[in-house]
Amino acid sequence: MTIPPSKVPQRVLVTGASRGIGRAVAVLLAARGDWVAACGRDVAALTELVAESKQEGGAGGIFAVPGDVTSEQERAGLLDAAVAVLGGLDALVLSAGIARHALFGAITDEDLGATLSTNLVAPVLLAQRALGRLSDGGAVVLLGSNLAHRSVAGTLAYAASKAGLEAAARTMALELAPRGIRVNVVAPGAVDTEMLRGRDLSGLAKSHALGRIGRTDEIAEAVLFLLDSPWTTGTTLIVDGGALLQ
């Protein structure tokens, strides 16, 4: 696939960039000429991502900014590092997340707390901390899930965290509109990432109207669409192969 270059290169912080959707977003952004601060906890994976990006020879570039978004101290540090290497900040793509599934009645305090902390609290507080660095007219894209819109047994904690993220995004969009900062959500269905390892992928494929699970690059394309949509804010773009039609 050919990625058209950005009209003006953007400086973007991407969390969860060491693997999965976050990594795919970083790769597509760099390929079209944007500059990316790639955040994640896996330093080796980030180093590999940077090296691969240089080999590909994209018009932009990727810098590794290791950090744990659930840590208040590390959130501050990774933002400082991102602004330092990029020279500013035009957009955030907040992709870091975890999935701990259990049926209601077997959900632990630790699993519920960790899920909400990573999937809801961390992106909201990171975006808030970034406000003083984010350019007016910039954009924030949050990674949600179609599970915020459908009930699947065993996904209570994850679904609640993603539904909360959508609600937060709408309020953020309203409050940041005077600065021209747009806030949107991409809500994927099942995507071929490490989160699905060990699960019955053929069964998951059948739950999508198009008959297959998604690819990370397909979700990354939706993220770039929202980054580039100047009159779209406070909305959720569901990219799930028709799972909600079933």
CA angle 20–173–80, rounded 5-degree value: 60
- Residue 197's CB is within 10 A of a number of other CB atoms, namely 8
Q: Is the dihedral of CA 180, 24, 145, 105 positive or negative?
A: negative
Cα 102 to Cα 156: distance, rounded to the nearest angstrom: 8
Give me the long-range contacts of 69-74 (CB less than 8 A, separation at least 24): 69/15, 69/39, 69/94, 69/96, 69/118, 69/122, 69/123, 69/126, 70/117, 70/118, 70/121, 70/122, 72/125
CA angle 165–148–46, rounded 5-degree value: 55
CA 34 to chain centre: 16
Q: What contacts 31, CB < 8 A, 6 or more positions away?
A: 3, 56, 58, 59, 60
Positions annotated as catalytic residues are 158
